[in-house]
Amino acid sequence: MPDSGVGREAGSLRAPVSELNLILLGPPGAGKGTQAERLTEDFDLPYISTGDMLREAVKAGTGLGKEAKSYMDKGELVPDEVIIGVILEKVESPEAADGFILDGFPRTIAQAEALDEAFAKLGRDLTAVILLEVPDEELVRRLSGRRVSPAGRPYHVDFNPPKVPGKCDVDGSDLIQRDDDKPEVVRKRLEVYHAQTAPLVDYYEDKGILRRFDGTLPPTEVHDHVRATIATLRLEDEL
Ligand code: AP5
Ligand code: MG
């Protein structure tokens, strides 16, 4: 997946527009990764996925990975004090100075408050929180049929199949099933979402930056709606 925001609108004479600081919010399987892949290309923004970062850390056997693994395997959240510093460092890095797409963070009120505090110090604002709404029964169907490339690109055996079965369209690598997509872990992840992450919907609604999308539509339609909303936000900002 693209992870660099450099080179936006090459050849354009337009002055750079102000930053697009976007958060993708939604339950496990809502389509955050699926939409992020498309949106990073549309808007040339760096993509920061906490899940992908943590899985890479687990694979590499780093201190962070060792600490995170037991929580992830059980479908629980990694403690706030472990994740907040790592993500704030990314968001505050020069690559994310013109904006970013955050997937999987914040996931608790404490994480959202830490992000707000860091942004207030920097004089930056969140542009929008994109909420993908999908009911639990559909999420279970999606996660049980999900396959991912080693780089984290998501597919689904029925809803979003790769061109060659079992192979990534982009790099031809073998697709695998994520460890936390086992049915008992999926149930736990949904429980954790409703208890710890869903309160963020009201949190961002109160701030007036929440945008709701019907995540049950086909991926291309969800993408069309989200892209149009972000394009409008950007346009409004330029006027
Ligand atoms: P993370 O990797 O973030 O997992 P998640 O939030 O549970 O979300 P998923 O990646 O499962 O779903 P998605 O919304 O990206 O859906 P996708 O596009 O793949 O986190 C994993 C773990 O890391 C957590 O459990 C926790 O332990 C830890 N963690 C991460 N962040 C943390 C934080 N901030 N704090 C603490 N701990 C943290 O789509 C799913 C499937 O559906 C695919 O097969 C796809 O092809 C298909 N699909 C997508 N869209 C559609 C559509 N519109 N119609 C039909 N099918 C679709
Ligand atoms: Mg994901």
**Buried b / exposed e across 142-165, counting CB within 10 Å, b at 16+?**
bbebbbbbeebbbbbeeebebeee
Q: Which ligand is nearest to the CA of 144?
A: 1
Residue whose CA lies nearest to ligand 1 atom number 34: 105
Q: What is the pLDDT of residue 233?
A: 87
Among candidate residues 178, 188, 212, 234, the one labeled active-site is 178
Q: What is the pLDDT of residue 81?
A: 95
pLDDT along the chain (239 residues), means of 10: 38 54 98 96 94 95 95 97 95 93 98 96 94 97 94 93 96 95 94 98 98 97 97 79
Cβ neighbours of residue 89 closer than 8 Å, sequence gap 6 or more: none
Task: Report yes or no on whether pTM surpasses 0.85.
Answer: yes
How many Å is the maximal CA-CA distance in the chain? Answer: 53
- What's the chain's average pLDDT? 91
Q: What is the pLDDT of residue 20?
A: 94
Among candidate residues 69, 142, 153, 189, the one labeled active-site is 189
Q: What is the pLDDT of residue 11?
A: 35
Q: Which ligand is nearest to the CA of 67?
A: 1
E strands along the chain, which residues? Answer: 20-25, 47-49, 99-103, 128-133, 146-148, 154-156, 210-214
Q: What is the pLDDT of residue 2?
A: 41
Q: What is the pLDDT of residue 18?
A: 78
**Buried b / exposed e across 192-223, counting CB within 10 Å, b at 16+?**
bbeebbeebbebbeeeebbbebebeeebeebb
The ligand 1 site (C-beta within 6 Å) comprises 26, 28-34, 50-51, 54, 71-72, 75-78, 83, 104-105, 107, 111, 142, 146, 154-156, 159-160, 180, 189, 215, 217-219, 222
Q: What is the pLDDT of residue 239?
A: 66
For residue 217, give both structure tokens.
Answer: 């539509």
Q: What is the pLDDT of residue 234?
A: 82
Torsional class of 212: left (φ above 0), alpha (ψ -120 to 50), beta (otherwise): beta
Q: What is the pLDDT of residue 236?
A: 77
Q: What is the pLDDT of residue 16?
A: 43
Atom of ligand 1 nearest to the CA of 75: 25
Q: What is the pLDDT of residue 169?
A: 97
> Please, which residues bridge with residue 101 across strands?
22, 47
Distance CA 226, CA 46 (A): 17
Q: What is the pLDDT of residue 109?
A: 98
51 CA from centroid of ligand 2 (Å): 6
